[in-house]
């Protein structure tokens, strides 16, 4: 049985993050957040224990897990995971570390019925997490992390069986329905509505493998729904993922009037240093220079659209660590913290914890002093000039 917070939250709904930070964009505080990854959308590299007892070959994604175990066994396994993966003590610690936001990836299957085979049941745990966030002064960013047929073919979309979302109009229609139902769910609960600061429309769509016209119709329609359906001040932000395209590509496509109206929109950029084989042999100094360049790009483009760095980590190729891991990751963290607020909206670390990869875990990075405390503290002289 899920345990909800016992306090009378409705009598003490927090309307402001209470972080004391300077204002960022159109009345919003600068986002300094963390992703609650591996929770409602399982990724087995984050939680290998979730599939440890399953015989080889192991499932590669959540849909394979659902098909392998069947609905009842999957739901039993996931309920244990949902109950324990994130705790109120951890949420409180994240708030005390100076964070302002939790980005919460969630699957479309939680809001719509489909014949794909995904097992649902995580919404009560989403609600509990949002109530905890509210209690401890954090805002949340619900993130539609998946789409029917997959928008990118990655495990984080729920299925690694190709990029098929816009190949079937029924899948796009189902995504629209899922977004509508998610917004209705948010608006129906005063605590959740008060705690939601932004909505991420769709995580990491691989634009080069999709019909952009259908994606853009989904994004612009979603922005309209958020603007009209989640009325509050500051307005709830619509977050559009840049879909692995350069900022210059978006310059000619971003509606110029979006950020002059009451409801606002941000572009989401995910910046990692371990998925490009061309930089695997780079020194730490070269990686830091790339962070500086990313910061300059964020600053230069932020006049066209506010940019949030919705995912980043401390993961680096081994060559860059040079046998001095603690120093390298601390310098890498400080450089990124300085650079990623230049886009005007802020940043969200991926992710709050993992079972085996501390460079991807904010809580582990705190324990190892890779992430400074307070977040503005600097052990090393900044190398970037902005």
Residues with catalytic roles: 204, 311
DSSP tag of 58: P
Q: Which residues of 285-301 are buried (b: 16+ CB within 10 A; e: fewer)?
A: eebbebbbebbebbbeb
Q: What's the token pair of residue 133?
A: 């966030």
Which CA distances in Å does 313 have to 232, 283, 289? 32, 17, 16
Give the DSSP H or E segment for 285.
Answer: helix 284-301
| Phi–psi pair at 19, nearest 5 degrees | -85, -15
- State the residue for tokens 């932020």: 302
**Which of 77, 177, 160, 58 is CA-nearest to residue 122?**
77
Give the DSSP H or E segment for 269.
Answer: strand 265-270
Q: Is the dihedral of CA 86, 30, 207, 196 positive or negative?
A: positive
Radius of gyration of the chain (CA): 20
Tell me how far apart the alpha carbons of residues 265 and 163 are, in angstroms, rounded to a whole number.
26
Q: 81 with 72: CB under 8 angstroms?
A: no
């Amino acid at each position: 049985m899920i345990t909800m917070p016992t306090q009378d939250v409705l009598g003490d709904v927090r309307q402001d993050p209470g972080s004391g930070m300077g204002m960022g964009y159109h009345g919003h505080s600068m986002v300094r957040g963390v992703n609650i990854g591996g929770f409602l959308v399982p990724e087995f590299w984050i939680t290998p224990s979730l599939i440890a007892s399953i015989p080889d070959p192991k499932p590669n994604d959540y849909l394979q897990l659902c098909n392998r175990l069947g609905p009842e066994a999957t739901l039993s396994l996931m309920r244990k995971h949902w109950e324990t993966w994130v705790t109120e003590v951890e949420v409180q610690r994240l708030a005390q570390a100076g964070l302002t936001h939790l980005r919460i990836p969630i699957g479309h299957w939680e809001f719509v019925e489909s014949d794909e085979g995904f097992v649902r049941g995580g919404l009560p745990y989403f609600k509990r997490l949002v109530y905890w966030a509210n209690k401890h002064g954090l805002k949340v960013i619900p993130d539609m992390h998946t789409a029917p047929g997959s928008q990118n073919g990655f495990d984080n979309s729920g299925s690694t069986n190709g990029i098929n979302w816009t190949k079937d109009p029924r899948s796009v229609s189902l995504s629209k329905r899922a977004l509508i139902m998610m917004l209705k769910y948010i608006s129906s609960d005063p605590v959740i509505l008060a705690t939601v600061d932004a909505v991420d429309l769709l995580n990491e769509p691989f634009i080069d493998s999709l019909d952009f016209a259908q994606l853009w119709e989904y994004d612009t329609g979603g922005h309209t729904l958020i603007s009209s359906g989640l009325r509050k001040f500051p307005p709830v932000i619509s977050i559009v993922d840049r879909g692995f395209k350069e900022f210059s590509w978006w310059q000619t496509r971003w509606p110029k009037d979006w950020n002059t109206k009451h409801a606002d929109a941000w572009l989401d950029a995910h910046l990692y240093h371990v998925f490009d084989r061309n930089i695997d042999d780079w020194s730490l100094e070269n990686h830091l220079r790339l962070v500086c360049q990313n910061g300059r790009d964020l600053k230069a483009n932020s006049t066209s659209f506010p940019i949030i760095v919705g995912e980043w980590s401390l993961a680096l190729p081994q060559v860059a660590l040079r046998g001095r891991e603690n120093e390298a990751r601390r310098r890498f963290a400080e450089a990124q913290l300085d650079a990623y607020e230049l886009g005007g909206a802020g940043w969200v670390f991926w992710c709050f914890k993992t079972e085996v990869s501390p460079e991807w875990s904010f809580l582990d990075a705190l324990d190892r002093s890779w992430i400074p405390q307070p977040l503005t503290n600097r052990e090393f002289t900044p190398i970037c000039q902005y």
